[in-house]
Structure formats: structure tokens, C-alpha cells
Amino acid sequence: MAPRRKKIYEGKAKILYEGPEPGTLVQYFKDDATAFNAQKKATIEGKGVLNNRLSEYFMTGLTNIGIPNHFIRRLNMREQLIRQVEIVPLEVIVRNFAAGSIAKRLGLEEGTALPRPIVEYSYKNDELGDPLVPEEYIVAFGWANQQDLDDIVSLALRVNDFLSGVFYGVGIKLVDFKIEIGRIWDGDFMRLIVADEISPDSCRLWDVKTGQKLDKDVFRRDLGSLTDAYTEVAKRLGVLPANATNIKPTLIN
Ligand code: TMP
């Protein structure tokens, strides 16, 4: 059978297909989960459906407060139409509380409040395991210039304020998250926008009262059902009906 459409790129959790109009792509959310640079892998039924809806929810919220991003519209349970961008080869990480690699690197107890939000960058390169890089490397190797970095920090901190507030409103602490940034051109004019996805795969989310983890650490650290954790996040945000028992029943439109 001939392929239905052209695959542009396949990553660990998503596939990008050619879109229906120039400058667009279809982003397909897989059920695959990986951790520790794909040393740990699993297929988690329903994860793709949940992340498609959750990323739509956050990107639409960003649009509503004027933060440019790649989301155009949802196409179906697992796919969304997005703007084609040139991805800046960085993982832009924002941290509010110490956890994960910063806790390990600096010997901080997980959950320690940081003196201010910290923005850091990893170079997107699976073979190298996405190494942490300073701004000096980013500018020297031409992955982004100083003006781009100023714009990226500003975007990342606005996204942090928005997401922190949205999550706090449903009893969840945003410990840290990762975003990716894309370039788009209007003629000669280049703009940076939020791209990729925003979902519990790329955030650390702790219940405010109990500290229960509701993000991909559940998978990384074998803490229980990842689908249950993501379903809980979706329910609290009103993306799933509060009485849903799993992701198969109707999702709220
Ligand atoms: P880290 O503590 O492992 O450096 O991760 C910081 C945040 O970035 C955490 O929310 C998970 C997210 N992240 C990704 O989304 N993808 C990655 O490849 C890595 C390493 C982290």
C-alpha cells in the first residue's frame, strides 16, 4: 500500500508528516515513552491521545495571552496541525524547584525552591545525550545568536509564569519543564515561536498537597501508572471529564 502522506521526521514520541498546506505539518503523538536517552523504553496505551489534548490545551492558552506558538488546530485523537518551523537545536529548560539533573549536579534536595527561575540549555543531540551547554557555546557554534537568546529567555519565562499559574490553579506545582523553539519567516523577518509540545512528558508536576508526581518521572522512576498520572492532570484541567476512568471515554471538546 502506498503511504498516505509523506513522513518528514520521526522522533521518540512523535511523528511529523507533510501538512495539507505549505508551511504546515501534521504532528502525530505516539504512545511510546523513552527515558535516559532511550535506554528505557515502553509503549503506554493512551499516552499519545492525552498528550495531543494536553499540548493543544497549553498552546491554545499561550495563544490566548499572546505568546506565539506552532499550534493551529486539532485534527483527530492523535494528530494536530502545526506551523512548520526550523527547530533551534536546543532544549530550553526552566526550573522553579530543584529536581532531576540540577539536584544531582549541585547536591540539592529535590523540591528545594530555587532563588529565581533558572533557564538552561541542552544541545539537542541524541548521540551525545543532549549535553548541557552554556550560552557561550550556543553563540560560538551559531545555533542561536545573542538576540535570539534574549528572545528565548523572555519566551521561556512568560511560558513559565503562564504554566505555573495554570497548574497552581488545579493544585499542581510546576517544578520544571522543557520547551523547544522554532524559527518562522515572514519574508526576511524572522520570528521565534514555541514549538514541539507542552505535556507531562516534558514537565515535572507535583501535587501541591501530597507531592505525588504526575509527570514522566512516574515512568522514569517506576512509580506506577503513567496513564493514570496524565489522566489525573487532564481531569484537573478540564481536558477530560472529571468522572473519566481512562482515556477511552469521550474527551471534552
Ligand atoms: P532534567 O532534570 O533531567 O535535566 O530535566 C529537566 C526538565 O526537562 C524535566 O521537566 C524533564 C524535561 N526534559 C525533557 O523534556 N526532555 C529531555 O530530554 C530531558 C533531559 C529533560
Output the pLDDT for position 244: 79
Give the CATH number of domain 7-85+226-242: 3.30.200.20
User: Which amino acid is located at 229 in the chain?
Assistant: A
Output the pLDDT for position 118: 98
| CA neighbor of 201 nearest in space, from 184, 224, 177 | 177
Output the pLDDT for position 252: 55
Question: What lines the ligand 1 site, CB under 6 Å?
Answer: 91, 93, 99-102, 130, 176-178, 202-204
Output the pLDDT for position 243: 79
Segments of the chain assigned to CATH 3.30.470.20: 86-207
Q: Which CATH architecture has domain 86-207?
A: 2-Layer Sandwich (3.30)
| Cα of 149 from ligand 1 centre, angstroms | 19
> What is the C-alpha separation between 130 and 122, in angstroms, rounded?
5
> What is the C-alpha separation between 152 and 217, in angstroms, rounded?
26
Output the pLDDT for position 253: 53
Output the pLDDT for position 249: 42
126 CB neighbour count, 10 Å cutoff:
11
Q: Which atom of ligand 1 is nearest to the CA of 203?
A: 10
Q: Which atom of ligand 1 is nearest to the CA of 175?
A: 10
Q: Which atom of ligand 1 is nearest to the CA of 99?
A: 2
In the sheet that holds 14-18, the strands lie side by side as 7-10, 14-18, 24-29, 79-83, 71-76
Query: Rg of the Cα trace of the chain?
Result: 18
| Cα of 253 from ligand 1 centre, angstroms | 30
Residues 6 or more apart whose CB falls under 8 angstroms from that of 51 comprise 13, 29, 197, 199, 200, 201, 230
Question: Is there a contact between 28 and 14 (Cβ–Cβ < 8 Å)?
Answer: yes
Output the pLDDT for position 30: 98
| Cα of 4 from ligand 1 centre, angstroms | 33
Segments of the chain assigned to CATH 3.30.200.20: 7-85+226-242
| pLDDT digit string (tens) for the chain, length 253 residues | 666 789 999 999 999 999 999 999 999 999 999 999 999 999 999 999 999 999 999 999 999 999 999 999 999 999 999 999 999 999 999 999 999 999 999 999 999 999 999 999 999 999 999 999 999 999 999 999 999 999 999 999 999 999 999 999 999 999 999 999 999 998 999 999 999 999 999 999 999 999 999 999 999 999 999 999 999 999 999 998 787 776 554 455 5
> What is the C-alpha separation between 10 and 194, in angstroms, rounded?
19
